[in-house]
Amino acid sequence: MISIDTDQKLQLGQLLVKNGALTEDQLAEALRLQHEDGNRLLLGEVLVQRGFSSEEQIMECLALGYGIPFAR
């Protein structure tokens, strides 16, 4: 289960790395792909497409980042 200090607002990539759901290298690669010319995908979309994270991991991190409950 992913857990964070909800007093600290982090970006999605940082949340995933902090909780071991993503490596720094995977985050860097996903950010590079996200910012390529003409690419308008959200970071979460890139992470799922590349197989770096699951939709569930992303939703759980976002929920925790905003301090709202997450149910599976």
Name the amino acid, one letter, at 12: L
pLDDT at 37: 66
pLDDT at 65: 83
Q: For residue 8, is pLDDT > 70?
A: no
Q: Residue 29's pLDDT is what?
A: 94
**Mean pLDDT score of the chain:** 84
Kindly indicate the confidence band of residue 23, based on its pLDDT and cuts at 50, 70 and 90.
very high
Considering only residues 1 and 28, tell me which one the structure prediction assigns the higher pLDDT.
28
Name the CA dihedral angle for 62, 22, 30, 44, rounded to a multiple of 10 degrees: -20
pTM of the model: 0.77
Coil vs helix vs strand at 64 = helix
Contacts of 69 (CB under 8 A, 6+ apart): 63
